[in-house]
């Protein structure tokens, strides 16, 4: 679906144009065209390929989607794949934006994402001095917008981790904590797989040999890289904290099991004493004076009860019960 198709010149919007007129404006060196598509059909991509003279391999990647974040160079044009992240009811939904960039055109194709870039277009149009830089600045603005949307996701994951940490030392919550920690770890790894490849790709757009189309915006892409670096560092911190939390939780499980074992051992010792006395007096020897004594039964119960009571108090005092 076509969202926008606009021609710009000298940092100012000329007008909305038809798809058929794209090639006419692309041929003008002083202007560039910015087109935005959403969930594009194959026919639309084919039409854009003809109008912008896009590389077949880049179009093929955009057509199939599910690409790893990357930036590829095709002659004097670029093809970028970036992932969008949307947090809904605690779950991360991943979308994709494919961006074609040439000397005088930008084509963005948004797939499986409800977050549009109308605010990015408005921002660029409100900064004509920067928009004069042409398609490279629009490319930066799109990348910057996508990366900035990662920060709320990181913050949400950090808050989720803090909530789990608060429950680690609550009795009986060990199993639920482990499940939540592993679910959180899966989300963090998903974010890591989105950020790390993109950070590597963005690093090629500033310093040293950079693509021609980005030559006048290197410092802007360095800023995007810095944002990605901060996010990547935060991800590593959360991941390390999750690992520590899992170890602490497992230690709590071991401690609880030890406490149970101590209680069972203490009660076993107490009953073992009673069993020992009962076993002694249950032996069939005629020369046992207690068997014929009038108060032998009462004495036996008293001895067993007193001994068990003494052991119970000693175990209680030592913390085993």
What integer pLDDT is reported at residue 291 of this predicted model? 65
Residue 254's pLDDT band (cuts 50, 70, 90): confident
Q: Which of 147, 145, 43, 62 minimizes the C-alpha distance to 100?
A: 62
Start and end residues for every CATH 3.30.460.20 domain found in the chain: 1-148
Start and end residues for every CATH 1.20.58 domain found in the chain: 254-318
Backbone angles phi, psi at 36, to 5 degrees: -125, 130
Neighbours of 272 (CB within 10 A): 12
pLDDT at 285 over 60: no
Integer angstrom CA distances of residue 29 from 16, 25, 104, 125: 18, 8, 7, 19
What integer pLDDT is reported at residue 286 of this predicted model? 63
Q: Which of 133, 132, 100, 137 minimizes the C-alpha distance to 120?
A: 137
Residues written for the chain: 321
Residues 85 and 150: beta-carbon distance below 8 Å: yes
> Residue with structure tokens 């809904």?
88
Neighbours of 117 (CB within 10 A): 24
Q: What does the pLDDT look like over 195-225, one tens digit per residue?
A: 999 999 998 888 777 888 888 888 999 999 9
pLDDT at 230 over 90: yes
Lowest average pLDDT, out of 88-92, 141-145, 184-188, goes to: 88-92
What integer pLDDT is reported at residue 313 of this predicted model? 80
Q: Which residue has the higher pLDDT, 184 or 275?
A: 184
Q: What does the pLDDT look like over 56-67, one tens digit per residue?
A: 999 888 888 777
Task: Assess if CATH 2.60.40 describes domain 254-318.
Answer: no
pLDDT at 244 over 90: no
Residues 174 and 252: beta-carbon distance below 8 Å: yes
What integer pLDDT is reported at residue 257 of this predicted model? 67
Mean pLDDT on 21-40: 86
Mean pLDDT on 306-318: 77
Integer angstrom CA distances of residue 136 from 10, 27, 33, 124, 143: 14, 17, 12, 12, 11
Locate 78 and state its tokens: 């670029």
Q: Which of 158, 134, 142, 161 minimizes the C-alpha distance to 98?
A: 142
What integer pLDDT is reported at residue 290 of this predicted model? 66
Residues 28 and 104: beta-carbon distance below 8 Å: yes
Of the chain, the percentage scoring pLDDT greater than 90 comes to: 29
Mean pLDDT on 190-199: 92
Residues whose CB is less than 8 angstroms from the CB of residue 251 and which lie 6 or more positions away in sequence, other chains included: none
Integer angstrom CA distances of residue 312 from 16, 134, 266: 88, 84, 8
Backbone angles phi, psi at 27, to 5 degrees: -75, -15
> Residue with structure tokens 């408005």?
122
pLDDT at 255 over 80: no
Q: What does the pLDDT look like over 95-141, one tens digit per residue?
A: 999 999 998 899 999 888 888 888 898 989 888 888 888 889 999 99
CATH superfamily of 1-148: CorA soluble domain-like (3.30.460.20)
Neighbours of 233 (CB within 10 A): 10
């Amino acid at each position: 679906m076509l969202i926008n198709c606009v021609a710009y010149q000298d940092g100012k919007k000329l007008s909305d144009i038809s798809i058929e007129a794209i090639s006419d404006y692309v041929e003008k060196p002083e202007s560039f065209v910015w087109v935005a598509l959403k969930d594009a059909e194959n026919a639309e991509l084919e039409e854009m390929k003809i109008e912008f003279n896009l590389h077949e391999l880049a179009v093929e990647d955009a057509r199939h989607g599910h690409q790893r974040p990357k930036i590829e160079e095709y002659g004097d044009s670029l093809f970028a794949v970036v992932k969008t992240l949307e947090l809904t009811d605690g779950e991360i939904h991943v979308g994709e934006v494919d961006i074609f960039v040439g000397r005088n055109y930008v084509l963005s194709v948004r797939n499986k994402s409800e977050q549009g870039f109308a605010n990015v277009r408005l921002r660029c149009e409100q900064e004509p001095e920067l928009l004069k830089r042409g398609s490279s600045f629009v490319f930066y603005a799109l990348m910057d917008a996508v990366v900035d949307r990662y920060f709320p996701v990181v913050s949400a994951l950090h808050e989720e981790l803090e909530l789990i940490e608060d429950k680690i030392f609550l009795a009986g919550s060990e199993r639920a904590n482990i499940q939540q920690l592993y679910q959180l770890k899966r989300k963090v790894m998903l974010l890591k797989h989105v950020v790390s490849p993109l950070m590597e790709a963005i690093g090629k757009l500033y310093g040293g040999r950079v693509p021609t189309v980005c030559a006048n915006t290197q410092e802007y892409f360095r800023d995007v890289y810095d944002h990605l670096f901060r996010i990547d560092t935060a991800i590593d911190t959360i991941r390390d904290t999750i690992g520590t939390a899992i170890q602490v939780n497992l230690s709590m499980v071991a401690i609880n099991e030890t406490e149970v074992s101590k209680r069972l051992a203490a009660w076993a010792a107490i009953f073992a004493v009673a069993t020992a006395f009962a076993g002694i007096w249950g032996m069939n020897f005629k020369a046992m004076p207690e068997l014929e004594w009038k108060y032998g039964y009462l004495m036996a119960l008293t001895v067993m009860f007193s001994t068990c009571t003494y052991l119970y108090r000693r175990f209680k005092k030592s913390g085993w019960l």
